[in-house]
Structures are given as C-alpha cells and as structure tokens.
Structure 1
Amino acid sequence: MWRSKRTAIALASLNNWIIHQLDVNNAFLHGELQEDVYMIVPPGVTPRKPNQVCKLIKSLYGLKQASRRWYERLTSFLLQHNYKQASSDHSLFIKSTPTSFTLLLVYVDDVIISGNSMAEIQTMKTALHTTFKIKDLGQLKYFLGIEVTHSKLGITLCQRKYFLDLLEDAGLLDSKPVSTPSDPSCKLHQDSSLPYHDIPSYRRLVGR
C-alpha cells in the first residue's frame, strides 16, 4: 500500500496529473452481510419479548466482517465501471482508455483518485457519491500521515506532522534530540515490574 501510494503520487508529479482525495461517509455501513449476525439489543430499546436479540441486515463498525464486506462491495462497484484491479496491490484500481488514464487507490474509507482527465475523474466522483455518499476533499494534501505539498516544481512529501503527533502521544515532545536514540550496548533482561498501565496506548504507539 505504501509503495503504491508513493508511486501514484510520483506519477502524478512527473506527468502533471490531477490528484484528488475523497472520503467515503460511513464506509463500513455500506457492506452487505452474507451470514447471520446477531447483537444484543442496544440501550434505550425495549424488546417486545424477553431474551430477544437484533439480527443485522448491514454491517456495523466493530464487526470483524465489516471491512471485508465494504471492500468487496467497493471492488464490485469499480469493476462494473471498467476499472481493473492491480494484481500486485489489490487496493489499486486502474482505468485506461484511448483518451484518458485514471488510477484509484483505496485505504479503508480514504480514496486517492488521479489521472490526466478531469472529466473522467469528475464522472467517477459523481458515481461514487450517488452510490456511497462521499466527501470531496479536493487536491490531495494529507494522506495516511504524509503531508503533500504542490508547487510548480512538483510534489513534496513530508511526515513532520505525523512525527510530532507521535512524539506528543509518547510524551516525548520536549525531549532533546540525540544522534543515537538507544544504547547499542544495552542488554535485554527479564523485567519483574508491573505491566505498563495503559496497554491500548502502548499497542498503538508500537504500531505507529
């Protein structure tokens, strides 16, 4: 995904293509469930009979199936509109005609659309909005932690904001920079102290 994203931006810069960003509203709610999924009656709703549960018709955020069902529906939609899915990266879709070339890169509910024809891009935006309801964010400026700056010389990528947010979350924003952030002679050993108090925060920081 990261390689495809950088390649898409590089192509747009080299060929002076249009490159815009879209956001799909409530993306996971567009997924159609293919199996029976039940949930406890939510607070505030009084069931007619005791021990009743709700049977879901569509996906909800938090379901294991939600992202997969949304991706399957979006893929089907794009294939119907003559886009071809790249074999090397299934999040990349391409449409080529004698007069235009358009690529579409998907990351959950964030979409990059780029190409040499504004008419084709606008047609795709309209089709996506009609089916899924999208937010048109215009020219690509920020995507997955990377700031994108446009100029006459091309496109510049910067992760300054991402790193500042990471340092702030880790409580290290006021720390002094060093050339070697860790001691190479440090030996790992078993620690009998209590686990870190905020486990979700630790997992999030390690993942970033």
Structure 2
Amino acid sequence: MLYVNDLIMFGNDSATITTFKPYSRDCFKMKDLGSLKYFLGIEVSRSASGLFLCQRKYTLDIITEAGLSGAKPCGFPIEQNHRLSLADGPLLKDPEAYRRLVGRLVYLVVTRPDLAYSVHVLSQFLQEP
C-alpha cells in the first residue's frame, strides 16, 4: 500500500519481503520503520489470531473536536429506516465544520461498519446542513 510518501509492505512470503526491502530502499531512498503499528489514524496490533485494526485515537480526536468529550455513549445513534423531513429552521452557521465532521466519520467507518447507516444519513445533508 502506498499513500503519498508512506509505503506498507505486506504478504504471506517473508523471504520475498526481505528481498524487496533493500531494493525499494535503494530505489526510493527510504528507511524501514519495522512492524506496522499506526498508519493514517488506524492502530494495528497483532496476536496469534491475526491482525486487529482500531481507530481509538482517531475516534477520541473526533469526539474532542466536536466538543462532545463529556457526552454519554449510546447503543445506536439513529433508528434504522427513519424518515427525515425538511427542517424549517436556519442552516448551520458553519457548514464547513459539519462537512469536516462527516468526512471524518466516513473514514471512521473503515473500522466501525456499524456506523455506516448513520454516516450515510448525515452525508445526505452536506450541501445545506
């Protein structure tokens, strides 16, 4: 995987990866940082069962940015198949903050697919939140 200037090498043949590392280091002037622990807001941990991905820090950053640090958790934030109606009230003062929050939530769905429906509903109001 490659993202801007970060490269993750993975596979099931450790000999090939070991051979490829010096080659890529010479071609791209890069260094080996060892086993993957954190990448693009995703924490990676290993066990005998396999790899586990977590976005705990990323989630806490979202909560803090939204000013909800003292909020109580809930089981499911929105009812399934809920019909929304148009609001007559004023639009949000800062639509960019709403768009940024929804964008961050879209990325959070990578490890939290249970939030996909709620984020989908929120993303329908990006034009005029």
Change (3 A) 1:193 1:144: closer
Partner of 1:161: 57
| 107, 110, 113: which one aligns with 2:3 | 107
Offset, 1:185: 7.0
- The normalised TM-score by structure 1 is 0.40
Change (3 A) 1:110 1:190: farther
Q: Point out where structure 2 has 5 or more consecutive residues left out of the alignment.
A: 105-129
- Aligned pair 1:149/2:45, yes or no? yes
* Alignment RMSD: 2.8
SS of match in other structure, 1:167:
helix
SS of match in other structure, 1:157:
strand
* Greater C-alpha radius of gyration: 1
Offset, 1:193: 5.1
Instruction: Give the aligned length.
Output: 102
Q: State how far apart, in whole Å, the 2-side matches of 1:118 and 1:142 are.
A: 20
More helix per residue: 1 or 2?
2
Change (3 A) 1:191 1:135: farther
The one-letter amino acid paired with 1:150 is: R
- The normalised TM-score by structure 2 is 0.59
Structure with greater contact order relative to length (CA < 8 Å, sep ≥ 6): 1
Partner of 1:188: 86
- Percent identity over the alignment is 49
The one-letter amino acid paired with 2:40 is: L
Q: State how far apart, in whole Å, the 2-side matches of 1:170 and 1:145 are.
A: 17
The one-letter amino acid paired with 2:94 is: Y
Following superposition of structure 1 onto structure 2, how do residues 27-176 of structure 1 map, counting pairs within 5 Å?
A: 105-176=1-72
